Amino acid sequence: MKISVIGCGYLGAVHASAMAELGHDVVGIDIDAHKIEQLAAGKPPFYEPGLPEILTSAMASGRLRFSTDIAEAAGAEVHFIGVGTPQKAGSHAADLTYVDAAIQSLLPHLAAGDLVVGKSTVPVGTAARLAAVIEASGSGATLAWNPEFLREGFAVKDTIRPDRLVYGVAPGEAGEQATALLNEVYASAMAAQTPLIVTDYATAELVKVSANAFLATKISFINAMSEIADASGANITELADAIGFDVRIGRKFLNAGVGFGGGCLPKDIRAFTARAEELGRGDSVAFLKEVDAINLRQRQRVVAMTLQALDKPVYTAKVAVLGLSFKPHSDDVRDSPALDVAVQLRGLGADVVATDPQGIENSRLRHPQLTYSTSIEETLRNADAVVLVTEWAEFKQIDPVSAATLVRVPIIIDGRNTLDAAAWRAAGWTYLGLGRP
């Protein structure tokens, strides 16, 4: 099938490459000439395991190309919209400028029978509004909403083998045609019996934001429990294991620590709250404000634990920060709890040296005031305290015995509850976890 993908950021670049990998003929379009240049050269502008490989193989097959010219979308039957919906400046609402601009620029190039497919995360009601815009253009194209559930770090796998597909379609024949086209796009997932929900626009939009809201709530729930565990001497990891065995609860997303970040969960729960308030239903999701507050509190908690553990004033201390990206397997530092902790400690006057396998470059752009090192050894050398805030395998594998010989004071604050506390203590470290005695 001929497909265009408008927006070649995280979502779009992966989607375009994956669709070409699945055998479709794809053009990826973005207004950012630099990004397009990099992609066309086979180099993704961000770190995502597996993406360089499928990008290169799809381009070599001739099925994938990139352009800054929206006119190149003409001739495709399906046009995916994968542009960003960041948090609006000065507000909690989502900024829909890029989605609106993408649709407007696409309109002149649409033909009868084309299907425009929204993948961006949008406030409920957006798809209905955009469907009316497309209809009014008289092109004869229609709209579907097909939310994306990919996780950074596993984006290629999640796109090629999604755990479910959701189509929000118009009622009647237009919806049936949209479903048939999307089934063709996702033929390989269909063949693999991937669960499919065909629904209306509003439900499809809400599925996405409510899924992210649920995941955020789960993380904040366990973090709230870890605060209680700290106050009572209980062990949050054992608690999570024990409640996680209940299949109704499940163990995933019950890791207490410095909390969630990234380009999705934080902004999505805020945008959801803002949209619910617009709909006069702010009370229904008022708990998400608490979810956000609990989450942000974990960053303060890790900073406070560090200050308390130090044997000298923070402005005379060297603090080694292990981790900058918002989670492992990613170079994304948007709203990263790890970077936030590093910045806060630096703001308090600490000599912060931070390391991360992938996140240094992006962190340096935002916070040039921090000292970065690509060497774990250099980062640890003479440190008065070590703070682990992203659970990269490289950090989990640090040998506590040899690490103890590098630092000035062997204190480790495990902001991800990921280390073997007993092993670190046995090597002479003061080990501090969150809700972990």
Q: Which are the catalytic amino acids?
A: 264
Cβ nearer to ligand UGA, comparing 219 with 271? 219
Q: How far apart are the first and last CA of the chain?
A: 57
CA torsion, ordered 99, 105, 108, 109, to nearest 10 deg: -80
Report, in Å, the least distance between residue 286 CB and ligand UGA: 22
**37, 60 Cβ separation under 8 angstroms:** no
Q: What is the DSSP letter of 87?
A: B
Q: Are 178 and 116 in contact (CB under 8 A)?
A: no
Residues that bind ligand UGA (CB under 6 A): 121, 148-152, 212, 215, 219, 253-255, 257, 259-262, 264-265, 326-327
Q: How far is the CB of 263 from ligand UGA (least distance, A)?
A: 6
Cα separation of 381 and 355, whole Å?
12
Q: List Cβ neighbours of 244 (8 Å cut-off, separation of 6 or more).
A: 250, 251, 252, 254
Residue pointed to by tokens 């609860």: 249
C-beta closer to ligand UGA: residue 42 or 244 = 244
Which residues are within 8 A (CB) of 172 and not within 5 positions of it... i.e. 6 or more apart? none
Say if residues 117 and 83 touch (Cβ distance below 8 Å). no
Q: Which is nearer to ligand UGA, 297 or 381 (CB)?
A: 297
Chain centre distance of CA 423: 32
Of 153 and 400, nearer to ligand UGA (C-beta) is: 153
- The least CB distance from residue 243 to ligand UGA, in Å, is 13
Smallest gap from residue 436 Cβ to ligand UGA (A): 14
Nearer of residues 255 and 273 to ligand UGA, judged by Cβ: 255
β 385-388/142-145 pair status: unpaired
